[in-house]
Amino acid sequence: MKILIKNADAVLLDEVKRCDILIEDGVISRIGSISCPADRVIEASGKTVIPGIIDMHVHLREPGYEGKEDISSGCRAAVAGGVTQLCCMPNTDPVCDNAVVVNYIVNRAKEEGLCKVRPIGAITRGQKGESLADIGKMADAGAVALSDDGRSVMNSNIMRLAMEYASDFGLKCLCHCEDSALADGGVVNEGYNSTVCGLKGQLRAVEDIMISRDICLAQSLDLPVHICHVSTYSGVQIIRAAKANGVKVTAETCPQYFILTDDIITDFDTATKVNPPVREERDRLAVIEGLKDGTLDCIVTDHAPHAQKDKQVEYNLAAFGISGIETSFALSYTYLVKSGVFTLPQLMRRMSYNPARTLGLEGGQIAEGLPADLAIVDLGAEYVIDSSKFLSKGKNTPFNGYKVSGRVLKTFVDGEIKFDAEEL
Ligand code: DOR
């Protein structure tokens, strides 16, 4: 099977290049000026080809919470967002803390045959923080990392053992940083707006203490660690200093932390409730600086779909989370590239290349010989985000009604078209 994409603006690692891309048997076989017979020729002049997004922080909810999302709906949403590879978090029911659940997810995703799904195994059994999960068996079954996402492993000795044991299998721990005692049920950022609204806040220290603890462990053990969804200016400072000291730390953030501030909580819309919470302007600006100077390596979504009944309750009772996988490219393009912070290649490094490098995954760039995981996008297309049109079951987003640029037109995984906006 040969597909020829003609006259595209292709986003390579350091430049955007007008070229043709030939895909043969699922692989990018040539980039350049190409005329040859092909089974399908796609004229892409005026359009941009980006490397498929690698979203290394996604909740697919299956098994157990299929009312919120399942592997089928989550993967359909992913490819609609230009995502070709995703890593899914283990806070399912049963928890993904053993090889049986890892195998189940891998096999279900293969049956769907949409994007590449890489399970993340739990660090501890049942994510209870008490004893290590079946790390070796999960690694053999295809887990690409470990995390107790949704909570921190509060016992530092267990976290130490996890980092040591994980490294024997070439896996990294992805740390959700939240000191549960200090969080004490807080639902938003602690500050002026939490006081005005009468909502219980979470200090920045809730996050920063655990970022520091996990960095201390990584430094003492000389092992790698990855910090999830960084939201605080002080967390960015801690990670920056650790990197300067040679600690093997990588980190990610999400669109909500570089676009929003906690001014949005004042109308009590539970779509704004997310953990860690959106914070203040100095945090938002520091997150952008962190992305710019490489302190924060990756942009992920923390795609956390919830059913309406989980969100249509009072703020204190609502579930934490934002359904983000269908909007991350357009939001990131609009707020980071159109606003002049990044060039498009710089953005795609953070959405595709760096996640691949962080977890040792395949792909992450448009280059000859690599899997043809890519998306054709129309950067000029402006539209208003309408969550009722999401393919995800989770319609929970604070970005509903936002005007963005950058529409995903087609998504290719291993050279096969898995999403085509024209067919919607
Ligand atoms: O807001 C969040 N929702 N943060 C997390 O860490 C977990 C996630 C979820 O699973 O819903």
CA-to-CA distance for 6 and 47, rounded, in angstroms?
10
Q: How far is the CA of 306 from the centre of ligand 1 (A)?
A: 10
CA–CA separation, 94 and 100 (whole Å)? 10
Task: Using the predicted structure, report yes or no on whether residue 424 has a pLDDT greater than 90.
Answer: no
CB-based contacts of 377, cutoff 8 Å, min separation 6? 47, 48, 49, 50, 82, 329, 406, 407, 408, 409
Domain residue ranges in the chain = 2-48+371-391+401-423, 52-359
Whether 227 has a pLDDT exceeding 80, the answer reads yes
What CATH number does domain 2-48+371-391+401-423 carry, 2.30.40.10, 3.30.1320.10, 3.90.79.10, 2.60.40.10?
2.30.40.10
Contact 217, 163 (CB under 8 A): yes
Neighbours of 214 (CB within 10 A): 27
**183-216 tens-digit pLDDT:** 999 999 999 999 999 999 999 999 999 999 999 9
CB-based contact 146:166 (threshold 8 Å): yes
Out of 3.20.20.140, 3.30.420.40, 3.40.50.12780, 3.40.50.2300, which CATH number does the structure's domain 52-359 have? 3.20.20.140
Instruction: Tell which residue, 212, 104, 123, 101, has the closest CA to residue 167.
Output: 123
- Give me the active site residues, please: 302
Q: How confident is the model at residue 423, as a pLDDT?
A: 83
Atom of ligand 1 nearest to the CA of 304: 11
Buried/exposed 142-164: b ≥16 CB within 10 Å, e otherwise: bbbbbbbbbbbbeeeebbbbbbe
Query: How far is residue 299's CA from residue 399's CA, in Å, rounded to a whole number?
Result: 17
Paired strand residues for 51: 374
Distance CA(233)–CA(237), nearest Å, equals 6
Pocket flag, ligand 1, residue 275 (CB < 6 Å): yes
pTM for this model (two decimals): 0.98
Decide: 273 in ligand 1 pocket, CB within 6 A.
no
Ligand 1 atom showing the smallest separation from residue 228 Cα: 6
How many angstroms is it from 55 CA to the middle of ligand 1?
15
155 pLDDT above the threshold of 80: yes
Task: Provide the b/e sequence for 279-316 (b: ≥16 CB within 10 Å).
Answer: bbeebbebbbbbbeeebbbbbbbbbbbbbeebbeeebe
59 lines ligand 1 (CB under 6 A): yes
Neighbouring CB atoms inside 10 A of 105's CB total: 25
Write the residue with the smallest CA distance to atom 7 of ligand 1.
150
User: Tens digits of per-residue pLDDT, 230-276?
Assistant: 999 999 999 999 999 999 999 999 999 999 999 999 999 999 999 99
Ligand 1 contacts CB of residue 91 (under 6 A): yes
Angle between helix axes 156-168 and 204-221 (nearest 10 degrees) is: 50
From the CA of 178, give the closest atom in ligand 1.
Answer: 6
Residue nearest to atom 5 of ligand 1 (CA): 150
340 C-alpha vs ligand 1 centroid, how far in Å? Answer: 30
Query: Whole-angstrom Cα distance, residue 183 to residue 132?
Result: 24
Distance 174 CA to ligand 1 centre (A): 14
Q: Relative to the CA of 150, which ligand 1 atom is closest?
A: 6
Q: Is 149 in the pocket of ligand 1 (CB under 6 A)?
A: yes
Return mean pLDDT, the chain: 98
Are 144 and 169 in contact by the 8 Å Cβ rule? The answer is no
Q: Are 249 and 239 in contact (CB under 8 A)?
A: yes
CB 320 less than 6 A from any atom of ligand 1: yes
Q: Calculate how far, in angstroms, residue 193's C-alpha sits from the geometric centre of ligand 1.
A: 22
Mutate to test the pocket of ligand 1, among 56, 91, 265 (most ligand atoms within 8 A of CB): 91
Find the 396 Cα to ligand 1 centroid distance in Å.
Answer: 12
Q: Which atom of ligand 1 is nearest to the CA of 151?
A: 6
Distance CA 373, CA 118 (A): 15
The string of pLDDT tens digits covering residues 17-41 is 999 999 999 999 999 999 999 999 9
Ligand 1 and 344: CB distance under 6 A: no
- What's the length of the chain? 424
pLDDT digits 0-9 by tens, 43-70 = 999 999 999 999 999 999 999 999 999 9
Beta strands in 153-202 (DSSP E): 174-175, 188-189, 201-202
Task: Classify residue 166 by its DSSP letter.
Answer: H
pLDDT at 300: 99
274 lines ligand 1 (CB under 6 A): yes
pLDDT of residue 57: 99
Using only C-alpha atoms, what is the Rg of the chain?
Answer: 20
Q: Over the stretch 134-151, which tens digit does the pLDDT of each residue have? A: 999 999 999 999 999 999
